[in-house]
Each structure stands twice: as C-alpha cells, then as structure tokens.
C-alpha cells in the first residue's frame, strides 16, 4: 500500500441536487436571511430555457422578495461584462446574489461579487496583489448546463479581449454558499451544447484526478464522476429527454467541479 501524503481538501459548498430542487430557491433565499435578490442570468434565457423562465416568474411572484434581474450578454465572460455586473450589483443594494445560467454566468457572478465588495473594477483587482476576503453577500448558483462545475468551484475565468488572453482567479472565498443542481434546468440544451459542455466536464474530472495536487477525496469523487458521465453523456446527446442521462450529467459535472479542489 502506498503512503498517503498530507493533503487539504475544500468542500464547503452546500449542494442540493435533484429534479425540481430549483423551485426551492425562494426558500433558500429566506434561509440565508435575505430578501433583495440580484439575479444574474444568460441574456434572453426565458426564450430558450422554459424551466429557467418558470423559475424567474416564481421569484418575481415570491412573497417578501424583491428581484433585480441582470442579463449577462452571450459569450465567454469578459472584463467589461464583469465591470457592468459590478456596477449593477452595487446599484441594486441586494443582500444575496443568484447566478442562474451556464458556467460563464456563474464565473461572472463570482468575480462581480468579489470586486463589488472590494469596491474596484476587475482590472483594478488584477493590478494589485490579489485579496480574497470572506464574502459579505451569499451566492446561490443554479447551473443550466452540465459542464464546468463552476457552481461548486472557487475558480473564475474572465477573458481580456484587449490583451487577447484569459485571466483565471481562484480562491475558496469565491465559491458559492449554496448550489442548487437541478437536471430540469439542463433539459433544453441542444445536442451540440450537451456534447461540448459534457466533454468539458469529463476533461475536468480527469484533470482533477491526474493533477499533482490531487487528493484521495478528490480522486474518489473524480472517478465516480467519470463513471457516471461516460454513459450519461452519450445517452443525453442521443436523447435530450432522457431524464436519467441528464441527471447523471448534472451530478457528474458538479462532482467534476469538486474534483478540481479549488
């Protein structure tokens, strides 16, 4: 038996998984003692994701909750998108951030929450020694794709078109406080997106296993994620209405995010 070296593992996000769990969002907001929601979504999400549209309506109708809806433009998150989000978040005066969308929305929400707390732009944050204070606003993440696992990771990748590069930031304090992983939110993904995000999730699970900083806990989660997603990805690609396959991908991609251990 090989010796087990010392390791640290970061698994602090409260995860709620299951079909219909997204509908508990108003209750989760209340559990956090919040009432003013900054809801960040993919632009025009109501047009291509019926489950997300239903959830937005539910939030707007919820008693004791006010919602500021912010639509993130399509595409990978850029510095400008983050800065626009920072300004909107500060103006809203919200006491909780909710990210409803793919990994790009969740990454944007993480970066915006951090910079709003530090009262700086993202580029100003980059120009100094990085500081990651404990968040003053809770973040609830609801993924609408099964890919990056951003709902449980402490990483955020922001593009800088001017410099032609991407800026990755990572710290445990970037993580969401709650992840509501509901396969129903992924049902509307077309086959091409199912394949692209699913391959990304598989790659992240494998990378987490073979990385030098891998841990026994992360490896166990990663192996199970690969085991779940390998058949589920093929099945979900062939039939987007296969609920079992969608659940396998939603759970597997979330677990891949945990495997990354950031």
In a domain, 236, yes or no: no
Let me know if residue 113 belongs to a domain: yes
Q: Is residue 233 within 8 Å of residue 199, measured between CB atoms?
A: yes
Please provide residue 203's backbone torsions phi and psi, each rounded to the nearest 5 degrees. Answer: -65, -40
Q: Are strands 36-42 and 96-101 parallel, antiparallel or unpaired?
A: parallel
Considering its fold, how many domains does the chain have in total?
Answer: 1
CATH number of the CATH domain containing 77: 3.40.50.1970
Q: Is 178 within a domain?
A: yes
225 domain-assigned: no
Question: Does pLDDT of 142 surpass 80?
Answer: yes
Which is nearest to 112 in space by CA: 79, 141, 134? 79
Residue 162 covered by a domain: yes
Q: Coil, strand or helix: which one is 75?
A: coil
* CA-CA-CA-CA torsion sign (71, 13, 146, 26): negative
Full residue range of the structural domain in which residue 117 is found: 14-187
Residue 231 has pLDDT above 50, yes or no: yes
Q: Which tens digit of pLDDT belongs to each residue from 144-203?
A: 999 989 999 999 999 999 888 998 999 999 999 999 999 999 999 999 999 999 999 999
In a domain, 245, yes or no: no
Q: Around Cβ 94, how many Cβ atoms within 10 Å? A: 23
In a domain, 224, yes or no: no
Report yes or no on 176 lying in a domain.
Answer: yes
Paired residues of 72 in beta bridges? 42
């Amino acid at each position: 038996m090989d010796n087990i070296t010392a390791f640290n593992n970061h698994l602090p996000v409260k995860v709620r998984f299951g079909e219909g769990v997204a509908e508990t969002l108003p209750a989760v907001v209340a559990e956090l003692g919040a009432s003013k929601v900054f809801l960040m979504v993919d632009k025009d999400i109501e047009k291509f994701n019926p489950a997300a549209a239903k959830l937005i309506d539910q939030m707007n109708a919820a008693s004791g909750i006010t919602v500021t809806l912010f639509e993130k433009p399509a595409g990978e998150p850029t510095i400008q998108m983050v800065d626009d989000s920072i300004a909107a978040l500060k103006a809203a005066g919200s006491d909780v951030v909710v990210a409803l969308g793919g990994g790009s929305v969740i990454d944007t929400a993480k970066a915006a929450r951090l910079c709003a707390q530090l009262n700086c732009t993202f580029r100003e944050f980059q120009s100094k020694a990085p500081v990651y204070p404990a968040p003053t606003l809770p973040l609830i993440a609801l993924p609408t794709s099964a890919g990056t696992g951003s709902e449980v990771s402490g990483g955020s990748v922001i593009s800088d078109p001017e410099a032609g590069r991407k800026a990755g930031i990572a710290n445990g304090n970037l993580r969401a406080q709650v992840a509501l992983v509901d396969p129903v939110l992924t049902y509307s993904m077309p086959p091409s997106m199912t394949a692209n995000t699913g391959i990304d999730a598989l790659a992240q699970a494998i990378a987490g296993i073979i990385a030098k900083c891998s841990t026994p806990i992360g490896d166990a989660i990663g192996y199970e994620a690969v085991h779940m997603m390998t058949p589920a990805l093929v099945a979900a690609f062939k039939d987007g209405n296969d609920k079992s396959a969608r659940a396998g991908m939603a759970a597997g991609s979330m677990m891949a995010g945990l495997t990354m251990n950031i």
